[in-house]
Amino acid sequence: MDLRDISIKWKIAIPVIIAVTVGIVLTILVTGNRTESIVVDEAKQGTMVGYRDTVLNSLTTMMYTSSYSSAKDMFLDQMKNVADLKVIKTEAIDKDFGKGDARDYAADALEKEVIEKGTEKFVLKGSHLRGVFPYTAKSDFMGKNCLSCHKVNEGTVLGAISISVPLTESFRRIRLIQYLYLGLGLGGVLSVTFVVTIIVSIILKPMSVLVERMKELSGEDIESVSDVKVKDEIKILNVQFDNMVTAIETRNNRIKEQMEELTALFNVGEILNRSDSVDEAVGLILHAVNIGFHVEECAVILLDESGGLNLKKSIGLSDAKAEAVKDVVDTSDIRNRIMQGELFIANNIEKGVGDFLVVPLKSAKTPVGVITLHKVKGTEIGSISDMEEIKRLFSIIAMQMSPYLMVGISKDKKRNIVNPFTCYMDIIKGHIDAVSEYSGAVSLAVVKIENYNSLCKDLGMDNASLKVQKAGDAISSSINNVHDVVRITEIKLVVLLPMVEKMDATDIINSAVAAVEPDVMVKTKVVSYPEDGETPAQLMFLSYV
């Protein structure tokens, strides 16, 4: 079953029930967690500290007796009924009192950390809280001078005590409270479910009356009026429903006309998707709006790279009037409003073009051009009282056209860009054609910068690139023959030597590269026409370094 098809009653009730349920569950979890934290904190600050002080004070007092070892063992045996207790010694007291058994020293990482750092540590493992406390030598430790017997510096850790107490009973009681809360929560959820369902059913009952009436209207006269006697949102819905019924008849009168407009808009989109050039797209779009929107006079003016205006196409306007419109659009006031993306009617024009609608063409906040609309359905723009629908439709057309025009303009620019490598190949071909008449030669030398990556790493890319450029200048300055030096990649220079044989060209290049800075390592290769190849492509291929 699709959730969108369920009753509004459940669409309202279910989220409320879920929210209450989630709130109760979160309350139980958070309460239980916080209660455990409070119990653990109380055990740390109360129980554990009390045990610590008791044990340390007792052990310190026993040290002043002659039977410390036996007294300690008896004390620890008695403490087993209260807590799990262990006394840990360190090597600092071995020299004075002898080495003890292995079990008397730190046995795990926690005990070693406490002895090493001299700070107490707590760890909760399962339902048992364990605390390890350092036994530090002080001149006044609970009224006793530790340094009188222990020959160590004050602050030295002499040992530690490990105390572990069970919190099982406390945690069990917390779980019982959580189960109690869970039971109460389930009861609360069931109560909320019942109450919300009843309330929502009562509130939405008038809606069922309206739904039934709408079902009846599907087979009755369109002028029927519903009757639901309530004074809340349902009444508002009822009134708006009556208004909708009235509006349907009016809207039907616009459907045929809008279908023509929608068809025209669709045609605009299809034209933009299929056109290969800006000129073709603009011409077809003007033809589409002429048929679909009965536009009789219209022009499309685009911005060129320099910011000037270029009249692309127009319909219904004489050449003189179209140029006059372009001049009006080029005035500072109208230009500024177009740049701001404002759709407006240009009026009070003195150049005899009459009032016209200005529709800016902007893509990504970048002005592309403008559509000017002068006459629709036999009526001048200045004489149309209600322009909102026309503005809306042409805003849509402008939104469709702008990005495609920007892309189209960019594509047109790219078609006119000449590939630099192609130009250089044409230069080589020109030299070959020239020397072939005299059975001469054309030599081509490629100079590769071998350590360009190292230069980039040491100097940075900009300085490394500058090094390559300087190398080309140094080579060019060292050649007295007619030549061309061109950088064709980041790491390669090409030296063209017309009317120079390969052997001579090799000597010239070897001499010229000697002028390159010593930290720039170069590798060269020389090929020649017609010895190595007869076309520019063959020479460039054979000169690969």
Residue range 10-171 in CATH 3.30.450: yes
Residues with Cβ within 8 Å of residue 55, at least 6 apart in sequence: 79, 85, 161, 163
Strand order of the β-sheet with 442-449 is 484-487, 492-498, 442-449, 522-529
| CB atoms inside a 10 Å sphere around CB 13 | 20
| DSSP, residue by residue, 339-379 | HTT--EEE-S-SSS---EEEEEEEETTEEEEEEEEEEETTE
Strand order of the β-sheet with 84-89 is 84-89, 157-166, 128-136, 121-125
Residue range 420-542 in CATH 3.30.70.270: yes
**Which three-class secondary structure string do you get for 456-483?**
HHHHCHHHHHHHHHHHHHHHHHCCCCCC
Eight-state DSSP code of residue 418: P
Provide the residue type at 239 as one letter: V
pLDDT at 5: 62
Q: What is the pTM of this model?
A: 0.34
Instruction: State CA 297 to chain mean position distance.
Output: 46
- Looking up tokens 């950088």, which residue turns up? 487
CA-based radius of gyration for the chain: 47
Q: Which of 314, 264, 272 is nearest to 289 (CA)?
A: 264
- Looking up tokens 């790279």, which residue turns up? 305
| CB atoms inside a 10 Å sphere around CB 292 | 20
Report how far residue 464's alpha carbon sits from residue 520's, in angstroms, rounded to the nearest whole number: 9
Q: Do domains 275-415 and 420-542 have the same CATH topology?
A: no
Provide the residue type at 459 as one letter: L
How many alpha carbons fall within 13 Å on the CB side of residue 82? Answer: 15
The token pair at 218 is: 């599907």
**Which three-class secondary structure string do you get for 239-303?**
HHHHHHHHHHHHHHHHHHHHHHHHHHHHHHHHHHHHCCCHHHHHHHHHHHHHHHCCEEEEEEEEE
Would you give the end-to-end CA distance of the chain in angstroms? 71
pLDDT at 263: 58
Report how far residue 94's alpha carbon sits from residue 104's, in angstroms, rounded to the nearest whole number: 11
Report how far residue 103's alpha carbon sits from residue 75's, in angstroms, rounded to the nearest whole number: 17
Locate the domains of the chain by residue range.
10-171, 275-415, 420-542
Cβ-contact 36, 174 below 8 angstroms: yes
pLDDT, tens digit (0-9, with 9 covering 90-100), for 444-453: 999 999 999 9
Report how far residue 545's alpha carbon sits from residue 493's, in angstroms, rounded to the nearest whole number: 11
Cα-based torsion angle of the residue sequence 135, 140, 144, 149 in order, rounded to the nearest 10 degrees: 70
Report how far residue 67's alpha carbon sits from residue 74's, in angstroms, rounded to the nearest whole number: 11
pLDDT at 451: 92
Residue range 275-415 in CATH 3.30.450.40: yes
Report how far residue 480's alpha carbon sits from residue 509's, in angstroms, rounded to the nearest whole number: 11
Residues with Cβ within 8 Å of residue 518, at least 6 apart in sequence: none
| CB atoms inside a 10 Å sphere around CB 259 | 11
| Residue 23 dihedral angles phi and psi, to the nearest 5° | -60, -40
| CB atoms inside a 10 Å sphere around CB 476 | 15
Q: Which of 399, 332, 397, 406 is nearest to 366 (CA)?
A: 406
Whether residue 518 has a cis bond before it, omega within 30° of 0: no
Cβ-contact 311, 321 below 8 angstroms: no
pLDDT at 221: 47
Residues with Cβ within 8 Å of residue 249, at least 6 apart in sequence: 222
pLDDT at 235: 59
pLDDT at 264: 52
Cα-based torsion angle of the residue sequence 99, 104, 106, 111 in order, rounded to the nearest 10 degrees: -130
Taking 50 as the pLDDT cut, the residues of the chain under it are 220-225, 230, 232
Report how far residue 361's alpha carbon sits from residue 370's, in angstroms, rounded to the nearest whole number: 5
